[in-house]
């Protein structure tokens, strides 16, 4: 994930959160059940945001990184294997003649 993507994601998260009220002011005059309900909704929303935004972005980045590494390994290994196989086949053909 690029720095720009991380910054954009952080900005999205911070813009979605209402931090204008302090936690103590928000809790004033509310029952424990109301506070628990508020916390539960906030946690549910955070988990929803993570599941909808973070996980897909991380998965995409992981697939890209793994794909690039696999491609590099293939580019290094396959030519060597092919060269060895070709040399063996040439030797076999020369012995058969």
* Cα 37 from Cα 25, distance rounded (Å): 16
**Total domains present in the chain:** 1
Q: Which domain holds residue 41?
A: 3-96
Both tokens of 56, joined, read: 């897909």
pLDDT in tens, 59-84: 999 999 999 999 999 999 999 999 99
Instruction: Write the DSSP string, 24-78.
Output: HHHHTT--HHHHHHHHHHHHHHHHHHIIIIIHHHHHHHHHHHHHHHHHHHHHHHH
pLDDT in tens, 10-27: 666 666 555 445 556 666
Confidence category of residue 89, pLDDT binned at 50, 70, 90:
very high
Give the pTM: 0.44
**Whether the Cβ atoms of residue 61 and residue 1 lie closer than 8 Å to each other:** yes
């Amino acid at each position: 994930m690029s720095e720009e993507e991380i910054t954009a994601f952080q900005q999205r998260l911070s813009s979605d959160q209402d931090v204008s009220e302090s936690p103590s002011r928000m809790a004033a005059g509310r029952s424990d059940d109301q506070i628990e309900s508020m916390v539960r909704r906030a946690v549910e929303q955070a988990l929803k945001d993570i599941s909808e935004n973070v996980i897909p972005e991380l998965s995409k980045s992981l697939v890209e990184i793994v794909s690039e590494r696999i491609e590099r390994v293939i580019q290094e290994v396959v030519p060597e294997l092919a060269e060895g196989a070709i040399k063996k086949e040439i030797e076999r053909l020369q012995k058969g003649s």
